[in-house]
Structure formats: structure tokens, C-alpha cells
A = this chain, B = another copy of it.
Amino acid sequence: MSAPGAFLRIAGRQKLVGGFASKCRAANLRQARVSVPFATRRWGSTESDKTKSSSETESTTPQPPKKIQLTSEKYPEVKRDSRYAELTADDVQYFRSVLGSENAVMDGLSKDIEDDLEPFNVDWMRKYKGQSRLVLKPKSAEEVSKILKYCNDKKLAVVPQGGNTGLVGGGVPVFDEIVLSLNAMNKIRSFDPTSGILVADAGVILETADQYLAKQGYIFPLDLGAKGTCHIGGNVACNAGGLRLLRYGSLHGTVLGIEAVLPDGTIFNDLSKLRKNNTGFDLKQLFIGSEGTIGVITAISIVCPKRSNAVNVAYFGLPSYDHVLKAFVKAKSELGEILSAFEMMDGKAQNLVAETTGKKRPLEDEHPFYVLIETSGSNKEHDDAKLEAFLEGMMEEEICSDGTLAMDETQLQNLWSWREGIPEATKHFGGVYRYDVSIPLPQLYDLVLETRKRLEADGLTGKPDSPVVETVGFGHMGDGNLHLNVATRGYYKEVEKSLEPFVYEWISKVNGSISAEHGLGFAKKEFIGYSRDETSQNMMKDIKKLYDPNMILNPYKYI
């Protein structure tokens, strides 16, 4: 355990208490960290794209032009369901009569489907590739209604698609499903600057919505790496979690209403602008997180908080996971209403970032654990003072061993990069197995320890040529959301067998979730049993049957 004076190296004990303000006080920055290019930022939400099987452990960065295997070839055990009709020229003619030719994009009825439709057939990770021959881009709920009614009558399968940034293959066709893209529904319908309630089309890009709100002093209550591309409708359909959940809560609480079209063409209009409405079942909740399986969300209504004036970021080294837990309780208590992020990274995760980037570490010594804390508040001086008192206590109570504060926006971005750079660092050696899971906080880090033990026992790590380079844990600690990454030198059947189903079984044992925020989609469909019992699964199937008896929406996925 470090002595209370350890912070001195950075801040100076006296300064921490007294002159701290002038030397070490966090620079206060405008909220909503500057939007850096999508290619850089997206790491933040791509941690768990690797849960289907170890055959998917190749590098996960979007590889530019590269031949992508068809999903149907990669997973030959998944067969096209013969209940679905095949697209005919008459069908296309009908869709064109509804949408116009420019919004019913066809790629020839017979062959060579690779070109025009590839962006709609291939998922963002370039892991899944469908064979759709038709993309429809309706401009209104009424047009969506006509499309779905027709498809339902004709038994044509449909996959709704937002910004196509999903990580579990939920937004692209598996076979020849028609792609219903929300791209052309991208208008902000209304915003009330008094209540902060925004109503917008499903196809509005998250960053566009947030920038619109920024001008009015408000913030979208959701932030994630793919913000420059993802759609707010898709976010709601997938119940995205992201970076602001700790502060603003889940979409189940902030979404006030939705407009959705059911498979039979019925328009469900529940676009409420009310914070309270206790008149019957809250049906819209079913659509939040339904991943396009029971209806197509065409617009949402959401309550947005005021944008904070001040943002601070601090980064600590801690001697154990118990100390991380103590820090979390203390942060919740003392930073309370201004705490907007509490991210945990283990020492090995930070070592990998240091090794692979060659960057200078924020703290001189190495520590078993690190924590990144962000505060967002309405008053810079108050936030600084709270953080100061918090840091002082952290040192006095010997909860942290060392720490540093961002003094300007560059430093703030640099500190965040030590958290956001982990996914990139873990795939540096040739392969990586990633799991994005929820675990009750007290047991959260045990999964990392147990996984290491298991890999060691199986002789898969520890030597210079071992398959496993490192096993690291990090994540949105405030949400109980762990990212377990196993960095490997490539693809190894033994590693896969060592990890699966071990990891899922372990999570199931502690009543965790095998998918904290990315959903089920195609990738995790078969693993739902580890997080939901048979009763729940049957109840879900009943809901699916109720809304989509012909099963035309997003088949081969979810449940």
C-alpha cells in the first residue's frame, strides 16, 4: 500500500490541499468530448464482437476491400427458411410504385449482387454478409406500413436497418431478406427547449441529434463510439447503453414515446411527449431492445438533460480490485450528482496499451488497477472543489496509490485514450477473444482471474510462444459492465475450447448477462440460455408470435 504522500509525485501533498488549485486542478472543458473521427472513437463500443465462436477471432478492424464470406457459407448449419417467398419482379414493381425507383434500390434480379448493395448486405465489422437484392428506403411511417403489409401478405422476409453499426450481425440479412433502411427518415420533428423533449425520425444520426441539441444547451442522454454513423432509432431498437448510462440512465427511462410499424402494417403511434402517462401497459418498452423483430421503429420521443458546463477527468492507480470497489463507493458518495463515468482498467490492460503504442504512461509507476473518473456539472469551481476533496480522501484513506488530473482538453483526451485504446491494443498480436458482459459488481473481476487460471491450467499462456499473450479486464464499472479480452497470437482451437462455454457458464452461475449492451442479433442468438431461463425464453417467443405471426421481421436472429 502506498503512503498518503504518493500523490505528491504528481500533485504535491501541500499543493493537493492548498495550492492544488493552480497547479493540478482539472481544466474544465465543454461537455461531450470533442467528436473525433469514427475510426478512432469506435473502439469504445467494439469490445465484444467475438462471442459466436473462435472461428471469428481474426482481426476485427474493418478491412477495406477484402472478400467477405457469405454468412450462409460461413454458417452452413443455418438454412434459409422455405416459408419465405422469393422476390419477384412484381414485388419490386409494387415497392417502386410506393417509394419511387430511387428509394427501392435493386441490384438485378439474378446475379452479381456485390456492388451497389454491399454496404447494406455487409455488417460494420465485415463479419457477416447477406444476399439481399433489394433495399427499400421509405420516407414516412405510412410508406413503411405499406411495405410491411405487402411483405407480410406475401411472406417476404425483411431486415430493418439503421446506421448498420451493430456488433452482433443483427442489422444485415442472413440470406435474401429485403433490407428496409431508415436512411431516408432523418428529420428532427420537434424540440421543446423548456422540457428538453426531442421528437425525431428513427434515421437521424446520433451525432446529428446531439449537435442539434448542443445548440440549445441540451445533450442527448446517450453517447457511444459509433455516434457519427448510428441512428437514434437503431439505438432504441437495440437499447444501446454507452458512455452516459451511469449518469442519465437507460433508454427505458429516457425514451418517452415511439412510433413503430408492426409487421401487418399497423402504425403504433405512441409518440408521447409526456414524462408521466399511466394509462395502460407501457407497450413501447417492448420495442426498446427488440432488435427489429416485432416492429420497425420510425420515430422516437426522448427527454434530454441540460448540457453540463464543466467536465473533468482524473486517472488513478490502485493496489487491488477491492480498492476499486472502495473508490467506486466513495466516488458515488462524494461526487454523487456530478459523476458521469467510472471506468476500470486492470494493470495488464494498461501495460498492453503502453507496449503497443509506446506512449508515455499517465502515472510513473505501474499499478495492479487503474480507474478513470469523469465528472460533468453545472459549476466549474464546485466540481473542482469536490474532485479535490475526493482526491484528498482517496490518498488519506489509501484507496489509490497515485493519480493525475487532466488540465486541458488534450490531456483529457489523452487520459481517455488509455481506456479507449485497450481494444486496439488487445488485437495487436494476431487474435483476440472478446466478451461484453454484465456481472454483479462484487464478483465482476473474478471472471478475469478465473479465466487466467483456466488458461494457465490448460497450458495456454505463460511462455513466449504460448497462444495467449494476455488476459485483461476493463469496462464501464459504474454499470457493472465488464469487457474481458483475451489477446492471442492468432486462432487456436484449444483456446476456444478452454474459454467456451466456460465463460458463459461462469456468467450464468453468478446471474450475469452474456450481452450487457450489444444485444443478441445473429451472433449470440444461440447463447441466450445462459442469461434467460426457459420460462423467459418461452414468454419472449409468445411476444414474437403475437406481433409477427408470419415471422417476417429479422429472421434467423434474436430468439
Tell me the A residues contacting B by CB distance below 8 Å: 192-197, 217, 238-239, 241, 245, 249-250, 252-254, 266-270, 272-283, 285-286, 288-290, 294, 305-306, 308, 325, 328-329, 332-338, 377-379, 382, 385-386, 438-442, 476, 479-481, 511-520, 524, 528, 531-533, 535-537, 539-540, 542-543, 546, 558-559
Contact among B281, B325, B334, B378 for A334, CB-based, below 8 A: B378
CB distance from A262 to the nearest CB of B (A): 8
* A239 to B282 CA separation, bound complex (whole angstroms): 10
Considering only CB atoms, which chain B residue lies closest to A271 in the complex? B511
In this complex, what residue of B is CB-closest to A377? B337
Which residues on the B side are within 8 Å of A253 (C-beta)?
Answer: 249-250, 252-254
10 chain-A/chain-B pairs, Cβ below 8 angstroms: A193-B329, A278-B518, A279-B520, A281-B290, A282-B286, A285-B286, A308-B336, A333-B378, A337-B337, A337-B378
Contact partners of A241 in chain B: CB under 8 A: 276, 278
Cα–Cα distance between A516 and B378 once the two chains are bound (Å):
30
In the complex, what distance in Å separates the CA atom of A514 from the CA atom of B168?
A: 41
Which of the residues B250, B442, B481, B543 comes within 8 Å of A283, measured between beta carbons?
Answer: B543
Copy count, this protein chain: 2
Closest Cβ of chain B to A179, distance in Å, is 22
Which residues of chain B have C-beta atoms less than 8 A from A386's C-beta? 378-379, 382
Q: Are B277 and A531 in contact (CB under 8 A)?
A: yes
A250 / chain B contacts, CB cutoff of 8 Å: 253, 275-276
Q: What would 11 more interface pairs be, CB under 8 Å, given A245-B275, A337-B338?
A: A195-B441, A252-B285, A268-B535, A268-B536, A277-B516, A277-B531, A279-B520, A281-B289, A281-B294, A283-B539, A379-B385
CB of A480 within 8 A of CB of B195, answer yes
From A294, A325, A439, A441, residue with most partner B Cβ within 10 Å: A441
A513: which of B193, B195, B274 is its contact (CB, 8 Å)?
B274
For A239, list chain B residues within 8 Å (CB).
278, 282
Q: Compute how far the CA of A74 lies from the CA of B267 in the bound complex, rounded to whole angstroms.
A: 39
Task: List residues of chain B with CB within 8 A of the CB of A289.
Answer: 278, 280-282
When distances are taken between beta carbons in the complex, the residues of chain B under 8 Å from A536 are: 268-270, 280, 283
Taking CB atoms, residues of chain B closer than 8 Å to A274 are 438-440, 480, 511-513, 516
Q: Which of A238, A250, A278, A520 has the most CB of B within 10 A?
A: A278
User: In the complex, what distance in Å separates the CA atom of A288 from the CA atom of B196?
Assistant: 24
The 5 closest A-B pairs by CB, nearest first: A253-B253, A285-B285, A336-B378, A337-B337, A277-B513
Contact between B440 and A280, CB atoms less than 8 A apart: no
Contact residues in B for A519 (Cβ distance below 8 Å):
278-279
Chain B CB within 10 Å, residue with most, of A239, A252, A273: A252
Contacts of A546 in B (CB 8 A): 542-543, 546
How far apart are the CA atoms of A252 and B286 in the complex, in Å?
12
Per the bound structure, the CA–CA distance linking A181 and B128 in Å amounts to 52
Cα–Cα distance between A520 and B275 once the two chains are bound (Å): 17
What chain B residues lie within 8 Å of A385 (beta carbons)? 379, 382
Question: How far apart are A550's CB and chain B's nearest CB, in angstroms?
Answer: 16
Q: Using known A-B contacts A194-B329, A269-B533, A377-B337, determine if residue A479 contacts B511 with beta carbons closer than 8 Å.
A: no
A280 touches B559 (CB 8 A): yes
Tell me the bound Cα distance from A269 to B546 in angstroms.
21
* Alpha-carbon separation in the docked complex, A546 to B509 (Å): 31
CA distance A290 to B276 in the complex (A): 15
Task: Tell whether, in the assembled complex, residue A192 and residue B440 are in contact, meaning their CB atoms are under 8 Å apart.
Answer: yes
Contacts of A336 in B (CB 8 A): 305-306, 308, 377-378
Residues of chain B within 8 A (CB-CB) of A282 are 239, 252, 285-286, 288-289
| A408 nearest CB across to chain B (Å) | 23
Residue in B192, B267, B515, B537 whose beta carbon sits within 8 Å of that of A278 in the complex: B515
Per the bound structure, the CA–CA distance linking A483 and B269 in Å amounts to: 26
Interface centre among A194, A266, A334 (most CB of B within 10 A): A194
Residues of chain B contacted by A249 (CB below 8 angstroms): 249, 253-254
Given A193-B329, A546-B546, A520 and B278 contact (CB-CB distance below 8 Å): yes
CB-CB < 8 A to A516: which residues of B? 274, 276-278
A280 touches B532 (CB 8 A): yes
* With known contacts A480-B195, A511-B273, A517–B278 Cβ distance under 8 A: yes
**In the complex, chain B residues whose CB is within 8 Å of the CB of A325:** 194
Verify A276–B442 contact, CB threshold 8 A: no
